[in-house]
Structure 1
């Protein structure tokens, strides 16, 4: 669990305080990034509140001098180095009435939903604005002038094709972006289809956001692992029996049955569920054409998920690998308790590192280990109790 920040301190002062108390270890790489966040925090404190946007607001915001802008921060580095902890400290301290913190996949799902809603209005004659991007950008900016994204990554062509236009509009309005990522900006959407259409977004990113690297020698997530028996391997009859035993224990004598979750004219089939516990196979969640929105719906419905038969992920399973990465990101971000049976330990599941997916899967491995820890399971209990 992350320590609670002192709202009167800067991020670096908070980090020093937590180090002095013994809650955290001294880490010079984290301190460097904390001071970068201090710069953004100081500029926000000096800045007058940004006006809410309108569909044409960017025309006026574009006249703002570069020296008047608050430049955001893009923090990249290996998994488990403390990027999210530092960003969350910053987010809590940021003196913005309108601010939003989200996992990047969750944010983009929201964006696509808003675009679809606008197109429906256009079809029904409820609006004459044919381009949804300015309308969506205005609505997003009205809700939040500060956007903080955890795990910024681009693997979906639908996301890649709209990011440049969307953020050009948001940045012109005065939006400030702070994000964490496992990859440096130049490796975003690497080897992606039609990547040339994505490159203008990288130019925007460098114009409106500073870049900070967090390369600490320690993976703090791995230090938390207590190896609780929630990740079972190899894929054999004995592992299946162990998963069945865990499932029976979770049922407490209740009878599980199948159900369906409605999703915009379609349904997500849940093979076995009781109350807020569900059981799926890898085929159910990663072989079928599901995405972040579907996984978010599962997180909203269930507190614990059993996932059977995760296979080795070779070059022939590229789409399944992408879905698995997004699934684990979403379950982790919503503190869902996860039980897994798999062909191999997390670090051996991906048989060949492939471009951006290799970077992304490093995060998946780290999260699968952390989701076995007593600390993560305690966080699961805390978050669910607060809902």
Structure 2
């Protein structure tokens, strides 16, 4: 099926609602899908392969909740060649780990074995939520994409940012600019300028703060269709693992995020990669929970500043979570209230 046929089928069976902006994004995706359906001339494991004519992928960008991940998933389903769907951050982490192993083995070009393993496995990589915030990723991604494109791999990726805003204000950004030029030269850059935020629609009128538990499994299912690919964030040489993550939505317990020795760097990494957080089982906080309470305050401050949508289950209302001003909790309670407002959440 073409992208247009697949989209029309989903509209017909009621899975999707027709959206002109989404329909406009089908054309560049179909252009790449049709190209992939033709026989490709490739050398052994990509070596010596003739550079393919036409675009090497699609860079689909736009606001949160507009349907970018859904369209990418449709492309992944329709791809006529081996395709892998992976969160961008997880893929880059795998690249770094593979390079570490290659260096330990004395490999001169530590990136080559990883790139060739990808080239040998797939012809399409579908990246969800491309964003560059780490200098090590910024310095690596250009060389990696150059090798993948040369090996005949195509890339379909989503992002909240136009390519020119990737790694904006980052350290040594001048060294990163050739990658932006590569994206604009080799890929079709398409803005999904939908007016409707479907993620907010799914949350519209829905309760987002539950006292004493709540139907959070149903909320998770509504936002992710119950699917989970997980996400591992590399922070200062260690891993922060989220078992429940899909399409920018994460679910974790208070113990997961505040009961362990995490800090601002961990929460910043979380906020950069998650647009909706379902946080469960927040207890009342007193002096016995001093460390956990301080982490919770830092977590809420970080999510607030990043305008991450928060859905939470807690033992008490925000104002009653901490007795008096034991942890200077008044600001946190106020922010928890504000984050329950209709339409809260970022669009960058």
User: 1: distance between equivalents of 2:301 and 2:12?
Assistant: 34
TM-score with structure 1 setting the length: 0.61
Match of 1:110 among 94, 100, 104: 94
Contact 2:244–2:251 (Cα < 8 Å) also in 1: no
Contact 2:267–2:302 (Cα < 8 Å) also in 1: no
User: 1: distance between equivalents of 2:9 and 2:86?
Assistant: 26
TM-score with structure 2 setting the length: 0.68
Call closer, same or farther: CA 1:228–1:346 in 2, change over 3 Å.
Answer: farther
Unmatched runs of 5 consecutive residues or more in structure 1 = 1-8, 123-128, 233-241, 251-284, 312-316, 352-360, 372-387
Aligned to 2:176: 198
Aligned to 1:169: 147
User: 1: distance between equivalents of 2:209 and 2:238?
Assistant: 23
User: 2: distance between equivalents of 1:50 and 1:135?
Assistant: 18
Pairing 1:206-285 to 2, within 5 Å after superposition = 206-225=184-203, 231=209, 242=211, 245-246=212-213
Pairing 1:364-383 to 2, within 5 Å after superposition = 364-365=308-309, 368=310
Unmatched runs of 5 consecutive residues or more in structure 2 = 217-231, 283-295, 314-348
Aligned to 1:294: 240
Q: Root-mean-square deviation (CA), in Å?
A: 3.9
Aligned to 1:71: 56
Aligned to 2:85: 101
Alpha-carbon deviation of 1:22? Answer: 3.3
User: 2: distance between equivalents of 1:77 and 1:44?
Assistant: 25
Aligned to 1:350: 304
User: 2: distance between equivalents of 1:42 and 1:289?
Assistant: 40
Alpha-carbon deviation of 1:71? Answer: 2.4
Alpha-carbon deviation of 1:53? Answer: 2.1
Call closer, same or farther: CA 1:22–1:292 in 2, change over 3 Å.
Answer: farther
What's the CA shift string for 1:92-132, capped at 9, x where partnerless?
110113x211000110111111011111112xxxxxx3120
Alpha-carbon deviation of 1:38? Answer: 1.0
Contact 2:57–2:155 (Cα < 8 Å) also in 1: yes
User: 1: distance between equivalents of 2:73 and 2:171?
Assistant: 33
User: 1: distance between equivalents of 2:186 and 2:312?
Assistant: 33
